[in-house]
Structure 1
Amino acid sequence: MASEDTPLMQQWREVKARHPDALVFFRVGDFYELFNEDAVEGSRLLDLTLTSRNNGGSKAPLAGIPAHALENYLRKLVGFGKRVAICDQVEDPALAKGLVRRAVTEMVTPGAVFSDALLESRRNNYLAAIAGDAAGESEVGLALADLTTGELTVRRVPWEELTDVLGAWQPAEVLLPRTWELFPLPGAGTATLTYRGDWLFDPRGAAEELCRHFRVANLAGYGFETGDQWLAAACGALVGYLAEVQPAGFAGLRPPTVERAGGAMVLDEMTRRNLELVETLRGAGTDGTLLKVLDEACTPMGGRLLRRWLLAPLLKPDHIAARLDAVDEFFQGDGMRRAVRDALGGVRDLERLAIKVGAGRATPREMLALATSLDRLPLLIDALGNAKSSLLSILRDGLEPLDDVREAIERAVDPETPVSIADGGVIRQGHNADLDELRSIRDGAVDWIARLQATEREATGITTLKIGFNRVFGYYFEVTRLQADRVPAHYHRKQTLANAERYYTPELKEWEEKVLGAEERIGSLEQRLFAELREAAAREVPRIQRVADHVAVVDVLAGLAEVACIRDFVRPVVDGGFALEIRGGRHPVVETMMPREEFIPNDVKLDEDARVMILTGPNMAGKSTVLRQVGLIALLAQVGSFVPARAAHVGVVDRIFTRVGASDNLVRGQSTFMVEMNETAAILHGATPRSLVLLDEIGRGTSTWDGLSVATATTEHLHDQVGAKTIFATHYHELTRLSDTLDGVTNFSVAVREVGEDIVFLRRLVPGGADRSYGVEVARLAGMPETVVARARQILQELEEQSAAAAGNAPDPAQQLGLFDGGGLPHPAVDRLRQVNPDALTPIQALVLLADLVKAARN
């Protein structure tokens, strides 16, 4: 501490020492001030004017913001991934002896944000914690919490899957042991990485922290098992971190839910990106995504749940069937669906409201919003009254009306309540006798003062006399300067203005004290009554959260049925079989961007006898659309949604893998082809016979023969070794000859029609392979200069003629091995090899035979 520091700066340094990695917003009057290094960084990030403050003979850098504008600046800082310590005055300046005491009342970090202005209503804001033996080794424990909804989930994750899991959850902040600072964290993306001492992640200490927080003797009741030490470590570290970011205490965090492998599909980054599930390939907003098409949820928590469902399709047919039964019942029952959605229309964000109530943050209007939402529950329960499906029945029976909570709020809070409790008028008339009496005293005094103005005008003859009030000077008589000479002697001057004088009288002062005394007591009593109401509601937060969970699921199921009605989706058959058969399948997003009659549906069938489809056709014919729509239909079916098709039969897939498009990663020194090979390698290592593999153009980033070789070997591996259902869209027409040698390969193409020099894209799948890519025609359609197109046609014709001539002069097939020879005449060397018995050869004979075969092969 600098010896010349003022008391204020000493106080700031003490706070900063406890929060060295945060910007300290230090409350001084009506402003939040940033000092020293915080001021320099804050002025740069927030475009604030950097000034200085006298600090006992030296100058301290200073930047400040108005307190009322705090949220606007916090939004920017959270976007930059910064931590902010809000240091408020925690005692009344009027009662303080010396410097007003200050303390950090809240830490705002990317993963610990509570203000609606800083959050997206239809997207969770996750804080993650990871614990394990060491970065990069074996499994880790992963805990994920959304502090705005109270959700807390833990799971074991193999290190090699961490990228995919984090990518799906997309936490805003990740908490890590300090010793992991030297290791890159895969899959963190744009998340803020926060490091804390390794002791916080100690399994035993973390488990004790969890038991203390949730007031239990052990964690077995939450599903923790022997060997889950890193789950407890991650979860306990996260809960311990809450004590830092919420020093005033945090209520509403739910007991942890332990997720085990095998319940939901893990979607890798390529699949999430290529199928454009929740973000487009451009990464800007949800327009053009599957989420945008499907989101007919009426409530914010329904919208958040739908997003989570899309990123974690189910793997168990019975769980999928339960969702499909519920969607089907809503789909068939128009009346029930409309009634449910009407009831949901008035429901606000119960999850986040419950957290605000539990944390003591709920404003009077938010308490009313909670009551208004609960008022819709009886309507929702009635709408579900005749539900037959097992899932809807369970949800209906779990919907508690919570009339006691709603009635308590409605009895206490005025329907016309202001935004802030400080504005007064929050508590309803008739709720508290003492409050009503104080208000009567205040209102009577105010009425008397209002009548006094007329009385004094008549008594003094000053027609411009009026009574005014402000918080500094209280009540006063105001008289213009022109009539000041007529003011009676018993008026006492209070304030002089440019054009008027202000006065008071003993009588006015007496009534002012009655008004202000009553106002002060009213304010204190209203604050106490409101705090008691909020505390009573906080005790019911677990009940509110259970209801919110049920409401969200009902909302998503009814929304999926609404989409099915609007978009003409059908219920898929989902089972544990291998086959994937789609009749009249459509792309759920693309079809929304064009008139229904213009989208051409297609049939696709993959089964054990035909598990690999080689899909050829010209550019722009729609091969990529077919690939994506197959992946989306399979995913939708396992989410529990109806699908865009005339009919669909989906055997549950354990993973969906996609490799679409071309990109590079120059930062890591990876070319387009290297990225393509990395993605393909990940698929070949991760796919199983139960997977769905969708490939678009493998091997195009290198020479033709290199690329064709890689594409061929990849297809053979998927067919022979993996056995996964595969669609491979390609311009390597040579791959279609694989159907001659591999039993499970079929060929399909996207049909086109040539009309003179033009081509018409029919966008329909037909059996057989294509023999042309029509690249020159597509170049013309793209607007290439006509001279370039004409020259390209000329070159193409010359190359085709050269190829035909070369084929005419080719050696006899009996003298040449082909890449795809599966029939025809054998090579003499091969013929001779078939006749050799290697066990009967001496070493000398083997060497002579090898020399003869080499000579034959070279001829």
Structure 2
Amino acid sequence: MAKEKLSPGMQQYLDIKANYPDAFLLFRMGDFYELFYEDAVKAAQILEISLTSRNKNAENPIPMAGVPYHSAQQYIDSLIEAGYKVAVAEQMEDPKQAVGVVKREVVQVITPGTVVDSSKPASENNFLVALDVLERTYGLAYMDLVTGEFRVTSLTSFAQACGEIKNLRARELVLGYDLEEEEEQVLSKQMNLLLSPQAEILDDVHLLDSDLSHLEHQVAGKLLAYVHRTQLRQLQHLKKVQSYQIRDFLKMDYATKSSLDLTENARTGKKHGSLYWLMDETKTAMGTRLLRSWIQQPLIDLEQIKQRQDIVELFLANFFERNDLAESLKGVYDLERLASRVSFGKTNPKDLLQLARTLGNVPQIRGILESLDQPALASLISELDPISELADLIDGAISPDAPLLITEGNIIKTGFNQTLDKYRLILREGTSWIAELEAKERENSAISNLKIDYNKKDGYYFHVTNSQLAHVPSHFFRKATLKNSERFGTEELAKIEGEILEARERSANLEYEIFMDIRSEVANYIQRLQNLAQALARVDVLQAFALVAEKEHLVRPTFTKKSLILIEKGRHPVVEKVLGAQSYIPNSISLAEDSHIQLITGPNMSGKSTYMRQLAMIVILAQMGSYVPAEAVQIPIFDAIFTRIGAADDLVSGQSTFMVEMMEANRALAEASSNSLILFDELGRGTATYDGMALAQAIIEYIHHHIGAKTLFATHYHELTDLEETLPQLENVHVATLEKDGQVTFLHKIESGPADKSYGIHVAKIAGLPEDLLVRADKILTELENREQTLSKEKTVEGQQLSLFEEKSNPVLEDLAALDLNNMTPLEAMTALADLKKKL
């Protein structure tokens, strides 16, 4: 449509929209937010709202859709959930007083990474991530706009950056550089991230640490600039950026965390069935978020781990105090979110009342901890700042029955402000003044039905019917004439009306001003509130650790500087919780200093994967500072866990199971150290048998010769068990089975030595395959085994065998060949023969 034909309002819309081309523009017009043009067409489809048009009779009507302003949040949530941005343009002046078109401005841009008012559970963080690159090093910064958390790190590769973005479960990525086509494919298509370019840097000296590297400063500054560009306000609750390194915590990539079901069940995507689900006995939203963070980032610093363990032990030993603590924490609201609402200018009276109740619980929580009188709690107690002056201010000012809206009055307590009390007295007594005046004039005028009424147009007035007009006193003056009656006023009524209306208007305005002053005062305490929130969250998580330890019969692990693992009757806590303690079979795990690799053989479905995951769970829990599921545990501090457990294609990126398997194996081989833990399950099964077997053996040998990491390697290649003879740091274990009358029972028990055979056909039987099919499979298996035995005896070319593995020397044959029979007595010969038989 030509520019000159547009109304001033539509021209204003287009001018604002030009600044936000990548966002839906919600344009406030009266009681609705309107969308126009392409925005209206797309929003109508996504939100399932009516699509109409502006200027319907014009040659080119403008598509239009709208949502009521009072219920706009649910529509904004839907657009954000679908991965879009929303710019909200508000009316910046009263339309009644506006000259010409009403002034409008965008007051906030809401994006998937910056949403603060949503239906998202308070227990989850919503991280906005920024990525930049400098000389092949990647800078990554992330922020939770609700809690104010702000962190930055440097990463060595794009793959590592993608892994960290996945770990943070980000939905939006702020980009500080121009992506290569392949990178854009990964981030946008495979990882489904909303990409938001940001070139400018906001150099905030209060939030950006001077110790940051140039790259970290750059990416953190771009993230800050993007946040301020979208939020369009000062955000007092943002914390000073903290630099961290992946190596500061137990290193686990996204695939490892997913395969171990740490924060969600990989199969269902739900919390149930994850370690997070098992451990979440927290009482506060802050504690739940911190628990999730601790699970994602277990410690590698022994002193920090022991500090947590000491407090858990203390809570376990003091049952009644721990129960009181849990009850007190139930009254604690989400201080981090309350602080952010203050910063965003969205605090309502209910928020302040929740804040006061939380602060009121702090002395009780602190008192419980002080009663335990233990040095381990001293640091934590000192951080429990009750901020009593703020609690007193809110308790003294805000009415417990205050409404949510801050413009309706009845927010401030009587007695807090003298002027407000005076207005309230007038409003309260004005009703009786009106009643007294009405009675007096009725009696003096002898008009029996004389009464005082009120409407917005005429104010207070005496209502007199036409039949009584002759009795109207001379001091009455006419205000309005109706068909059957007239309305009159008096000087006394006008005076009362003036006082009442002034009190009503000014009291509402004064209450609003008082509330805004209190909100400003609360803003001065944001940093102290955030520090208190962190302390309360730590108390909450540690009491949860103690409760879980008690309920699930966990023990305190000990750490050793030696490279050994001693776990007595260990358990996989989540599997045990799901199955029930009566059904779960514990397993001990032992790897001595000179034994680094356990080769695990045994049938499928017998528990090899659970055994491996059990070790990972125990390590993660131990390094979180939690107790662990076993009767006794002694382990070293691990620097990383690498896993390849379970099969999964990555169809989006076109990678087969085998390719994913090899990539994850390569990551472990490239990054693991002698202090790492490696868990490989059935590696090599995605290709031909000999290919897979060759790769599996080569990987085992590489770990043995070049890495020396503690490794559990589950395999169905029985031929690999021969490696125990050539690799001194490898030992065979197997899953025990009970076979009787052709029926096989999996005992789920790990024992020393290799498995004697596979039980694939028995698993197929359990799965319910047809009986005749199983009989045929058993016959084919027998034929194959007989053929293999025949082939293994036949030499091919000199010095080679059909077996994948080189022929091993036999010590008995070597001893026999060394015997000097010509110089032995018959007794010596018989003794030597007996020794050889014993060796066999």
The alignment's TM-score, normalised by the length of structure 1, stands at 0.86
User: CA 1:473/1:145 → structure 2, altered by over 3 Å: closer, same or farther?
Assistant: farther
Is contact 2:198–2:222 with CA below 8 Å preserved after alignment? no
The amino acid of 1:168's aligned partner reads N
* Alpha-carbon distance in structure 1 between the residues aligned to 2:457 and 2:147: 43
Residue 538 and residue 48 in structure 1: after superposition, are their counterparts in 2 closer, same or farther (change >3 A)? same
Aligned-partner SS, 2:77: helix
Correspondence for 2:111 among 74, 85, 109: 109
Is residue 371 of structure 1 aligned with residue 339 of structure 2?
A: no
Matched, 1:408 2:393: yes
TM superposition shift of 1:645: 0.8
Question: How far, CA to CA, are the matches of 2:101 and 2:671 in structure 1?
Answer: 64
SS of 2:106 mapped into structure 1:
strand
Rounded to whole Å, the distance in 2 between the matches of 1:710 and 1:457 is 107
Indicate the SS of the match to 1:119.
Answer: coil
User: Mapping of 1:730-809 within 5 angstroms?
Assistant: 730-784=715-769, 788-804=770-786, 806-808=788-790
Partner letter of residue 559 of structure 1?
Answer: A
Q: Quick check: 1:387–1:393 contact (8 Å CA) kept in 2?
A: no
Q: 1:812 to 1:59 in 2, by over 3 A?
A: closer
Residue 180 of structure 1: CA displacement? 2.5
Letter in 2 for 1:525: L
Cα distance in 1 between the residues matched to 2:80 and 2:413: 38
- How far off is 1:142 after superposition? 1.6
In the superposition, relative to structure 1, how do residues 668 and 130 fare at CA in structure 2: closer, same or farther (>3 Å)?
closer
Partner of residue 489, structure 2: 506
SS of alignment partner, residue 749 of structure 2: strand
Alignment of 1:155 onto 2:153 = yes
Report if the CA contact (8 A) 1:460-1:486 is conserved: no
Give the match for residue 247 of structure 1: 232
Equivalent residue, structure 1, for 2:7: 6
CA distance in 2, matches of 1:560, 1:494: 78
Structure 2 residue 548 is matched with structure 1 residue 548: no
Matched, 1:265 2:278: no
Give distance in 2, aligned partners of 1:734 and 1:194: 50
2:102 to 100, 103, 111: 100
Q: 1:750 to 1:476 in 2, by over 3 A?
A: farther
Q: CA deviation at 1:574?
A: 2.2
Q: CA deviation at 1:595?
A: 2.3
Determine if contact 1:578/1:652 at 8 Å carries over to the other structure.
no
* Residue 284 of structure 2 corresponds to residue 299 of structure 1: yes
Q: Distance in 2 between matches of 1:707 and 1:762?
A: 28
Distance 1:24 1:473, change over 3 A: farther
1:284 partnered with 2:283: no
Counterpart in 2 of 1:23? 24
Q: Closer, same or farther in 2 for the Cα pair 1:756/1:254, shift >3 Å?
A: same
Query: Which residue of 1 is the match for residue 64 of structure 2?
Result: 62
Aligned to 2:164: 165
* Structure 2 equivalent of residue 341 of structure 1: 326
Deviation readout 1:317-348 (Å, 9 max, x if unpaired): 22222221222222222233223222211110
- Unaligned regions of 5+ residues in structure 2, if any? 473-477, 812-840
* Structure 1 pair 190–454 and aligned structure 2 pair: CA distance change class (3 A): farther
Write out the 4+ residue segments of structure 1 that deviate beyond 4 Å after TM superposition.
55-58, 185-191, 386-391, 447-463, 465-469, 471-479, 484-496, 501-505, 507-514, 812-816
Q: How far apart in 2 are the matches of 1:96 and 1:144?
A: 42
- 1:589 aligned onto 2:571: no
Mapping for residues 470-549 of structure 1, pairs under 5 Å: 505-506=488-489, 514-549=499-534
Shift of 1:636: 1.0
Equivalent in the alignment of 1:604:
589
Which amino acid is the alignment partner of residue 622 of structure 1? G
Of 383-392 and 729-738, the range deviating more from structure 2: 383-392
Report matched runs for 1:649-798 at 5 Å: 649-784=634-769, 788-798=770-780
* Contact 2:463/2:488 (8 A) holds in 1: no
Q: d(CA) in 2 for partners of 1:387 and 1:504? A: 75
- The one-letter amino acid of 2:107's match is T
SS at match of 1:163: helix
Which one is further off, 551-560 or 95-104? Answer: 95-104
Q: 1:553 to 1:503 in 2, by over 3 A?
A: farther
TM-superposed CA distance for 1:196, in Å, is 3.1
Match of 2:827 in 1: none
8 Å contact from structure 1 (residues 776, 793) kept in 2: no
Contact 1:350 1:370 in 2 (8 A): yes
Alignment of structure 1 residues 319-338 onto 2, 5 Å: 319-338=304-323
Q: 2:204 aligns with which of 196, 201, 210?
A: 210
* Corresponding residue of 1:138: 136
Aligned to 1:85: 87
* Residues 417 and 765 of structure 1, relative CA distance in 2, 3 Å threshold: same
CA distance 1:689–1:454, shift in 2 (3 Å):
farther
Q: Does the alignment pair 1:421 with 2:406?
A: yes
Q: What letter is aligned with 1:93?
A: P
Distance 1:809 1:14, change over 3 A: closer
Question: How many angstroms does 1:13 deviate by?
Answer: 1.6
In the aligned structure 1, how far is the partner of 2:462 from the partner of 2:579?
72
Please, what TM-score do these two structures have when normalized by structure 2? 0.88
CA–CA separation in structure 2 for the residues paired with 1:811 and 1:776: 27
Percent of aligned pairs with the same amino acid: 36
| 2:547 equivalent in structure 1 | 562
Distance in 1 (CA, whole Å) between partners of 2:685 and 2:113 is: 41
Structure 1 residue identity aligned to 2:45: R
> Contact conserved, 1:689 with 1:725, CA < 8 A, in 2?
yes
SS in 2 for 1:184: helix
**Residue 857 of structure 1 corresponds to which residue in structure 2?**
none
Change in 2 beyond 3 A, CA 1:455/1:62: farther
Q: CA deviation at 1:792?
A: 2.2
Structure 1 counterpart SS, 2:232: coil
Match of 1:382 in 2: 367
Residues 810 and 75 of structure 1, relative CA distance in 2, 3 Å threshold: closer
Aligned-residue offset at 1:488: 6.4
Contact residue 466 and residue 486 of structure 2 kept, 8 A: no
Separation (CA, whole Å) in 1 of partners of 2:376 and 2:87: 45
CA 1:759–1:529: 2 relative to 1, 3 Å: same
- Taking a change above 3 Å as real, the CA distance of residues 438 and 265 of structure 1, as seen in their structure-2 partners, is same
- Alpha-carbon distance between aligned partners in 2 of 1:555 and 1:648, rounded to the nearest angstrom: 25
Q: What is the aligned partner in structure 2 of residue 124 from structure 1?
A: 125
| Residue 361 (structure 1) shift | 1.5
- The structure-2 alpha-carbon separation of the partners of 1:809 and 1:678, relative to structure 1 and needing over 3 Å to count, comes to closer
Q: What SS does the aligned partner of 1:13 have?
A: helix
Partner of 2:824: none
Alpha-carbon distance, 1:259 to partner: 1.6
Mean CA deviation greater in 260-269 or 811-820? 811-820
Q: Cα distance 1:197–1:269, how it changes in 2: closer, same or farther (>3 A)?
A: closer
> What's the CA shift for 1:517?
3.2
Cα contact 2:674–2:707 (8 A) shared by 1: yes
- Residues 626-657 of structure 1: CA distance to partner in whole angstroms, max 9, x if unpaired? 11111111111111111111111121111111
Q: Secondary structure at the residue paired with 1:727?
A: strand
How far the C-alpha of 1:56 sits from its partner, in A, is 11
| In 2, Cα distance between equivalents of 1:432 and 1:495 | 43
Length, aligned pairs only: 793
Q: CA RMSD in A?
A: 3.0
Q: Which residue of 1 aligns with 2:416?
A: 431
Cα 1:448–1:182 change in 2 (3 A) is: farther
